[in-house]
Amino acid sequence: MTKPLVKILLLCAAILIFAFSFVNAAYVPAIIIVAACSVALFYYRFEHREHTTALLILITVMTSLSVFGRFIFAFIPGFKPVTALVIITGMYLGKEAGFLTGSLTAMLSNFYFGQGLWTPLQMLVWGFIGFFAGLLWIQLQKSRIILILYGIISGVIFSVILDFLSVLWIDNSFNLKQYLIIASSSIPFIIIYAASNTVFLLLLKDPFARKLTRIKTKLNLQVN
Amino acid sequence: MNNAFSKFHPLSSFIYFVCVIGFAVFTQHPIIRGIGLISGICFFILLNERNVNKELAFILMFFFIIAITNPLFFHDGKTVLFFLHGNAITLESIIAGISMSVMMISAVFWLWCFGIIFTCEKVMYLFSKISPKISLIISMIMRFIPLLKDRHKQTQGCQKAMGLYTSDKLTDRVKSAVRIFSILVTYALEHSLETETAMRARGFSSKKRTSGLTYSFKKRDSLLLAICLTLSLALLFGAVSEKLQFYYYPSLSINASYSTSVMYLLLFFILAFMPVFIEIKEAAMWKYSLSKI
């Protein structure tokens, strides 16, 4: 099949399922299927473009590091370098690498931390965090304040979206009261996420910039 | 791996799992959820691979909480059992909560079974044809993580021996962990350089990749696939025509007549218990052929 045809088919399927599920008020399957389809579209695009071996290897290394980062800092719950690493990958290796690192980290680390139906949504959100970091790479590399703001915002958004899904799941309807209860119970986690993103971005940005720039010249890799 | 179901072709068993988990999770009907739970537990016991006593206690507690809290949030429903601080606690919302938690536990059990049957190699086999690049990346990560684990242990031991690793205060622990992480990063990136050179030297991306494992698609695989798809299509038809709809509020009611819903429940029963039947049949055949000798 030709490239655009597959894309259009996937998109149509996603929209149809989405519309159909909304008519039948099955919001959770709709969200999960649409998230899975959009991740699949990204992967499809990646699959059909020319890439150097170097970029594949660097994506592998960054993803393994961020999956492993979830283990090293397991002694403080919620305090993980994952988002920071995804942002750094997006900044220095381009938006595609950022998306792949984010989504693959979500999928693979869930093999250890518990796979569930929320995995596609988690993959999409983490992927987009890396993707937008790749889009905004000039601003993020230049200014520390924007970088920290980006880290905090992505931590908050990640938590808010997943809370939203769990509220929808519990009774298939959006109940504001229940959402607020769940959200307030996750406020400490949001604070830890935001704080850990900030700390890790500040700690890891400069060493990673040095190391990745060096490896990029060594591998003769051009990104962005 | 000594079970019959894992000997099926990855494609048909993957589609089977997707169908069962999809119906068990996305339908509202409490009896379908119950069937999903019981079949999942039976299958899991038959597989007899993982010891999950610890996780089970935690999960039961968590889901018990969901079942309890649902009637505290939702006061719809006809049959009021009693009032708690002026809020009605209804039979319907209690049943909805229990059914909700049954669904979640069944999803957990089915995903455990999926994890036992679907080893990493099978996932690779299935997806290396559809997306060679991403499955290559995944397999390389799966190798890289244990490597990093070993390296992390070595580095930590080294730092401890040199007296650089402190664990008195939390900030010190974080600092030491970050330093070791930075060392690991340098190692990983250097390692990537070598891998890249090796891959290029061996002609990566010059030709199509081949898979080391081969599964042949046998008659029984197509049989499993056909039965699974037929049952799923029938059930999907039921779901689309809202025959499988179950209403908890205002009172427990179904959309279809008694006989139609029994038929659909039977269909799901056959679908969900298929691996259990297969396991029992294989075990019986084994016993039978033993006694003949």
User: Tell me, what's the pLDDT at B293?
Assistant: 59
Taking the CA of residue B260 and the nearest CA in chain A, the distance in Å comes to: 20
- Reduced to 3 states, what is the DSSP secondary structure of residue B83? strand
CB B103 within 8 A of CB B33: yes
pLDDT tens for chain B, residues 1 to 293: 567 888 888 889 999 998 998 888 878 888 999 999 999 999 988 887 767 777 788 778 877 777 777 777 766 777 777 777 777 778 888 888 888 888 888 888 888 888 888 877 787 788 777 778 888 888 888 888 889 999 999 998 998 888 877 777 878 887 888 888 888 888 998 888 888 888 888 877 777 666 666 788 889 899 999 999 999 999 888 887 777 778 777 777 777 778 888 888 899 999 999 999 998 888 888 888 877 65
CB contact under 8 A, A72 and B191: no
User: Tell me, what's the pLDDT at A1?
Assistant: 46
Compute the distance between CA of residue B157 and CA of residue B163 in angstroms, rounded to an integer.
10
CB contact under 8 A, B133 and A218: no
The Cα-based distances of B192 to A12, A53, A89, A139 in angstroms read: 39, 10, 15, 28
Q: Which of B139, B174, B201 is the last residue of a domain?
A: B201
Check whether A36 has a pLDDT greater than 80.
yes
Tens digits of per-residue pLDDT, A50-98?
Answer: 788 888 899 999 999 998 887 777 777 777 888 999 999 999 999 899 9
Mutation target vs B (from A47, A51, A57; most B CBs, 10 A cutoff): A57
Q: Are residues B62 and B185 in the same domain?
A: no
Q: Is residue B118 part of a domain?
A: yes
Q: Which residues, other chains included, contact B180 with Cβ-Cβ below 8 Å and sequence gap of 6+?
A: A72, B152, B155, B156, B159, B165
Q: Are residues B50 and B135 in the same domain?
A: no
Q: Which of B155, B177, B201 is the last residue of a domain?
A: B201
Average pLDDT over residues A212-222: 85
Identify the DSSP state of A48: T
Mutation target vs B (from A63, A65, A175, A218; most B CBs, 10 A cutoff): A65
Q: Are residues B106 and B10 in the same domain?
A: yes
Percent of chain A with pLDDT over 90: 22
**Which chain B residues are closer than 8 Å to A176 by Cβ?**
none
CB B271 within 8 A of CB B235: yes
Cα–Cα nearest to B109, from B170, B196, B42, B162: B42
User: Tell me, what's the pLDDT at A20?
Assistant: 63
CB contact under 8 A, B148 and A28: no
B163: left (phi over 0), alpha (psi -120 to 50) or beta: left
Q: Is residue B206 part of a domain?
A: no
Q: Is residue B220 part of a domain?
A: yes
Q: Are residues B182 and B239 in the same domain?
A: no
Compute the distance between CA of residue A43 and CA of residue A21 in angstroms, rounded to an integer.
24
User: Tell me, what's the pLDDT at B1?
Assistant: 52
Q: Are residues B181 and B85 in the same domain?
A: no
Compute the distance between CA of residue B256 and CA of residue B159 in angstroms, rounded to an integer.
69
Q: Are residues B99 and B241 in the same domain?
A: yes
Q: CATH top-level class for A52-219?
A: mainly alpha
Q: Are residues B197 and B226 in the same domain?
A: no
CB contact under 8 A, A56 and B191: no
Name which of A21-35, A174-188, B245-259, B268-282 the model is least confident about: A21-35
Compute the distance between CA of residue B226 and CA of residue B41 in angstroms, rounded to an integer.
24
Q: Which of B141, B185, B186 lies nearest to residue A63, judging by beta carbons?
A: B141
Q: Is residue B209 part of a domain?
A: no
Compute the distance between CA of residue A93 and CA of residue A85 in angstroms, rounded to an integer.
11
Q: How many domains is chain B built from?
A: 2
Q: Is residue B207 part of a domain?
A: no
CA B65 from centroid of its chain's CA atoms: 22
User: Tell me, what's the pLDDT at B222?
Assistant: 92
Q: Is residue B100 part of a domain?
A: yes
Check whether A127 has a pLDDT greater than 90.
yes
Q: Are residues B149 and B95 in the same domain?
A: no
Interface residue A211 vs chain B (CB under 8 A)? yes
> How many CA atoms are closer than 13 Å to the CA of B271, on its beta-carbon side?
32
Cα–Cα nearest to B268, from B37, B12, B20: B20
Interface residue B73 vs chain A (CB under 8 A)? yes
- Reduced to 3 states, what is the DSSP secondary structure of residue B131? coil
Q: Which residues, other chains included, contact A206 with Cβ-Cβ below 8 Å and sequence gap of 6+?
A: none
Tens digits of per-residue pLDDT, A38-48?
Answer: 888 888 888 88
Q: Are residues B188 and B218 in the same domain?
A: no
Q: Which of B132, B141, B181 lies nearest to residue A69, judging by beta carbons?
A: B181
Q: Is residue B258 part of a domain?
A: yes
**Which chain A residues are closer than 8 Å to B177 by Cβ?**
72-73
pLDDT bin (cut points 50, 70, 90) of residue A25 is: low
User: Tell me, what's the pLDDT at A88?
Assistant: 93
User: Tell me, what's the pLDDT at B24?
Assistant: 86
User: Tell me, what's the pLDDT at A64?
Assistant: 92
Q: Are residues B86 and B21 in the same domain?
A: yes
Which residues form the domain of B173? Answer: 131-201
Q: Which of A56, A71, A117 lies nearest to residue B107, judging by beta carbons?
A: A117
User: Tell me, what's the pLDDT at A183?
Assistant: 74
**Which chain A residues are closer than 8 Å to B180 by Cβ?**
72
**Which chain B residues are closer than 8 Å to A104 by Cβ?**
134, 137-138, 141
Helices (H) and strands (E) in chain A, counts: 10, 0
Q: Are residues B89 and B194 in the same domain?
A: no
Q: Which of B66, B180, B189 lies nearest to residue A61, judging by beta carbons?
A: B189
ipTM above 0.85, yes or no: no
Q: Are residues B92 and B15 in the same domain?
A: yes
User: Tell me, what's the pLDDT at B6?
Assistant: 85
Residue pairs between chains A and B whose CB atoms are closer than 8 Å:
120
CB contact under 8 A, B191 and A60: no
User: Tell me, what's the pLDDT at B212?
Assistant: 67
